[in-house]
């Protein structure tokens, strides 16, 4: 259990085109952290932004501010990984820069961590500023993935959470290419608990998550933590084969017993198109998993860092992360 005093906290903030909101986010974060009796650093990860995000980060530069400028846009999941790789604190908080997740909740996360929890996730009680369809689709996704995954992924929970040092160290050992961080946070295990909060609308700017990106994130989550789609494809194939065999037997029986001619073109086309659709669906499901296996076998680095400006927090002696996102051990854990 961590001491109530004398610890160091790292705040990881991935940002893509968040130049409008970063100054207000930093002001509110600093106001919260200044009330806590601890050392802290904030790691701003620029995920290949095309606006003035990196310039704003440099304007916010201070001894407790670290900047990780990735070589291109790698996506939020990998940007989160880059920030956690470079976090030096006894615990790390992951939070978005858009102020939908209020920094004022951080003291509650710390309190639960001090009670002995390794992962303290912030669970949303409301989702202000979001459409009904987005709320419904998010709720449905969490319910589906809880049913099909062997890992219990908390419902109504985003990336906003606190991770203990051993939880961060565990996550940095997971170097898979297709990363669904909400699932990885749960997969590592360790004692976990929730803190409840009200999610606010964006402070400024536009959400980068359209429905297409959310759909692909949902596919990442399901295929990363479940083989249920493969099982569904198998069962669909078995049921289709059984139905086809039964119908064929019925047609043969009618022909032999009653002399009824086999029905013609329309019924034949319906059967062919139905079977073809089932086969293509099954091949597509297999292709999703095969494509992910193909990407994993390449063993490419997760990211490249174009520029890294560390904070004044003392570097931990046990490991370093190179600019290619590969972990080099200094000592054996």
Identify the CATH number of the domain in which residue 22 sits: 3.90.550.10
Are residues 50 and 128 both part of a single domain? Answer: yes
Are residues 163 and 53 both part of a single domain? Answer: yes
**259 in any annotated domain:** yes
Are residues 18 and 155 both part of a single domain? Answer: yes
Are residues 286 and 150 both part of a single domain? Answer: no
**223 in any annotated domain:** no
Count the domains in the chain.
2
**217 in any annotated domain:** no
Could you list the residue range(s) of the whole structural domain that residue 266 is in? 228-298
In angstroms, what CA-CA distances link 161 with 221, 296, 309? Answer: 18, 27, 24
Are residues 143 and 197 both part of a single domain? Answer: yes
Q: How many angstroms from the chain centroid is the CA of residue 314? A: 29
Are residues 288 and 313 both part of a single domain? Answer: no
**221 in any annotated domain:** no
What is the per-residue pLDDT for 177? 81
**291 in any annotated domain:** yes
Cα separation, 235 vs 210, whole angstroms? 32
189 Rama sector, left if φ>0, alpha if ψ -120 to 50, beta otherwise: left
Are residues 278 and 308 both part of a single domain? Answer: no
85, containing H or E segment: helix 76-86
| The model's pTM | 0.71
Are residues 247 and 307 both part of a single domain? Answer: no
Are residues 234 and 305 both part of a single domain? Answer: no
Per-residue pLDDT of the chain (333 residues; tens, 9 = 90+): 455 457 889 999 999 888 888 999 999 999 999 888 888 999 999 998 888 899 999 999 889 999 999 999 888 888 999 999 999 889 999 998 888 888 999 999 999 999 989 999 888 887 665 666 666 666 666 666 666 667 787 877 888 899 999 999 998 888 888 888 888 888 888 999 988 888 776 555 565 555 556 666 666 666 666 666 777 777 777 777 777 777 667 766 766 676 666 556 566 666 776 777 777 777 877 777 777 777 778 788 888 999 998 888 777 666 555 555 665 443 222
């Amino acid at each position: 259990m961590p001491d109530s005093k004398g610890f160091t906290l790292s705040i990881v903030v991935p940002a893509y085109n968040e130049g409008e909101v970063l100054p207000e986010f930093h002001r509110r974060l600093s106001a919260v952290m200044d009330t806590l009796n601890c050392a802290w650093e904030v790691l701003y990860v620029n995920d290949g932004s095309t606006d003035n995000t990196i310039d704003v980060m440099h304007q916010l530069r201070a001894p407790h501010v670290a900047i990780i400028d990735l070589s291109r846009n790698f996506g939020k999941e990998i940007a989160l990984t880059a920030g956690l790789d470079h976090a030096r604190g006894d615990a790390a908080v992951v939070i978005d820069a858009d102020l939908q997740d209020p920094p004022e909740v951080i003291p509650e996360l710390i309190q639960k961590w001090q009670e002995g929890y390794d992962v303290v996730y912030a669970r949303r009680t409301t989702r202000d500023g979001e459409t009904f369809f987005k709320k419904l689709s998010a709720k449905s996704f969490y319910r589906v993935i809880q049913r099909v995954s062997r890992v219990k992924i908390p419902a109504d929970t985003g990336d906003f959470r606190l991770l203990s040092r051993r939880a961060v160290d565990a996550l940095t050992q997971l170097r898979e290419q297709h990363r669904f961080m909400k699932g990885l946070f749960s997969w590592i295990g360790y004692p976990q608990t929730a803190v409840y909060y009200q999610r606010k609308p964006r402070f400024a700017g536009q959400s980068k998550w359209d429905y297409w990106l959310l759909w692909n994130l949902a596919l990442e989550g399901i295929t990363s933590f479940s083989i249920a789609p493969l099982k569904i494809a198998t069962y669909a194939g078995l049921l289709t084969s059984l139905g086809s065999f039964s119908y064929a037997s019925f047609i043969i029986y009618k022909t032999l017993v009653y002399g009824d001619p086999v029905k013609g073109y329309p019924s034949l086309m319906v059967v062919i198109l139905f079977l073809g659709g089932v086969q293509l669906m099954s091949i597509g499901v297999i292709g999703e998993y095969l494509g992910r296996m193909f990407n994993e076998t390449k063993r490419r680095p997760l990211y490249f860092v174009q520029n890294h400006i560390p904070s004044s927090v003392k570097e931990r002696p046990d490991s370093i992360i190179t600019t290619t996102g590969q972990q080099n051990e200094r000592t054996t854990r």
